[in-house]
Structure 1
Amino acid sequence: MFGHGSKRGGSRHGGDWRDHPFGGRRGRHDRPLEQGDLRWLVLDLIGEQPRHGYEIIKAIEDAFNGAYTPSPGVIYPTLTLLEETGLIVSETQGAKKLYSLTDQGRAELAARVQEVTAVRGRLEEARARFGANPAPEMIRAMDNLRAAVQVRLSKGPLSPEAVQVITGALDRAASEIERS
């Protein structure tokens, strides 16, 4: 259900929150999911098959055609909460944990069909608004840009002039892309 092709990608979101490709309000972290959605999405993914945390992150990224990737800082606390509430259990496999539904988790998922269906609907709506998977060469170019910025930032503090040059280049690229 959630595993649709794309790998890494990204998008530039600007303007009013109603223009955001995933709908909803753009909060501090610009999350495309509503409050509580992630819990049901994670539980549903684990209900499909036992998964590691990284697999859950990748499944959600794929579900959003690479336009949104939840951070480990969001996924792992969610997994901890689901485990503490008895909805999932984990089995340690080397350095990883494999998460599975408990009987209580299956019952909760069955009782929350409306919430899960609503999350799936919002996810499909977001996918439709965002569009098809980007071409592979676009993904490569986006990854190159991300890597270039990370390499430059790792070299140490930026001077005000360097910040101006980099932000100018990024803003010009964004403007050119928006006009295309």
Structure 2
Amino acid sequence: MTPVFSHGDLRLYLLSLLDEAPRHGYDLMQALSDRTGGTYTPSAGTIYPRLSKLEEEGLVTKSVDGRKTVYAITEDGRAEVAARTGELEGIESDLADSVRLIAQEVRGNVREAMKSLRADLAAAARADRDAPPPPPADDERTETRELVRRADGVITQFRTQVRADLRTHVAHGGTLSTSLVDALERALDDAAREVTRALRDD
């Protein structure tokens, strides 16, 4: 996937965010997610080492506020941001381009997944049409019940896996964007419609 920040740009961008207002680590992660439309949510392992380096360089300070560590820019940090205004403008422009490319990749991946799903459903429908005559009624009902149970298992497995992925992502400090949930909702709606259409055509 297209990287959001080029080498060294994240350091300067963090300084620019702190130039706006003091922030704690999670607030910085959320701000980066918001500025990129949810396409980039850095981990704590990405943010905190850079903040420590900025502190070592005397560009930021940190203080403890309750259970949170708040970072604030120093005068030297403000001077660096002011001196590199042109670079920041370039980063903002590159950021917009990166977000656009990532969004295009996500849309492309969803489209490819839907094409594959439609192809699989069409192949299954053809296989059903070309299949030999069905077995006697009792056997058919038994097979149908088994297939329903199998379908239930597939749906349950998908739901469990996605829920686990989402909860793990959030537990590790990640956030969810409206665009991601909207894309998931659209993909599932499309899948449901394809299944309904395949059942009607059966």
Paired residue for 1:126? Answer: 98
The residue correspondences of 1:1-180 to structure 2 (distance < 5 A) are 13=1, 20=2, 31-131=3-103, 146-149=162-165
Q: CA deviation at 1:131?
A: 4.7
Structure-2 separation of matches of 1:145 and 1:67: 21
Structure-2 separation of matches of 1:151 and 1:124: 28
- Cα-to-partner distance string for 1:39-58 (whole Å, 9 max, x where unaligned): 01100000011111100000
Q: CA deviation at 1:147?
A: 2.3
- Cα-to-partner distance string for 1:43-85 (whole Å, 9 max, x where unaligned): 0000011111100000101111111111100100010011110
3-state SS, counterpart of residue 61 of structure 2 = strand
Structure-2 separation of matches of 1:151 and 1:125: 30
For 1:120, the aligned partner's letter is: E
For residues 63 and 84 of structure 1, do their structure 2 counterparts lie closer, same or farther at Cα, with a shift above 3 Å needed? same
Query: TM-score scaled to structure 2, two decimals?
Result: 0.51
**Which one has the largest radius of gyration?**
2
Q: CA RMSD in A?
A: 3.0
Structure-1 separation of matches of 2:87 and 2:76: 17
Structure 1 ranges of 4+ moved more than 6 A: none
For residues 61 and 151 of structure 1, do their structure 2 counterparts lie closer, same or farther at Cα, with a shift above 3 Å needed? closer
3-state SS, counterpart of residue 108 of structure 1 = helix
Q: CA deviation at 1:126?
A: 2.2
- Cα-to-partner distance string for 1:93-143 (whole Å, 9 max, x where unaligned): 1221111111101111111112211111111222333459x9xxxxxxxx9
Structure-1 separation of matches of 2:13 and 2:32: 8
For 2:13, the aligned partner's letter is: L
Structure-2 separation of matches of 1:144 and 1:113: 47
Q: Which has the higher helix share?
A: 2
Structure-1 separation of matches of 2:64 and 2:17: 19
3-state SS, counterpart of residue 74 of structure 1 = helix
3-state SS, counterpart of residue 59 of structure 1 = helix
Higher relative contact order (CA 8 A, sep 6+): 2
Unaligned runs of 5+ in 1: 1-12, 14-19, 21-30, 135-142, 153-172
3-state SS, counterpart of residue 93 of structure 2 = helix
Query: TM-score scaled to structure 1, two decimals?
Result: 0.57
Q: CA deviation at 1:149?
A: 4.1
3-state SS, counterpart of residue 92 of structure 2 = helix
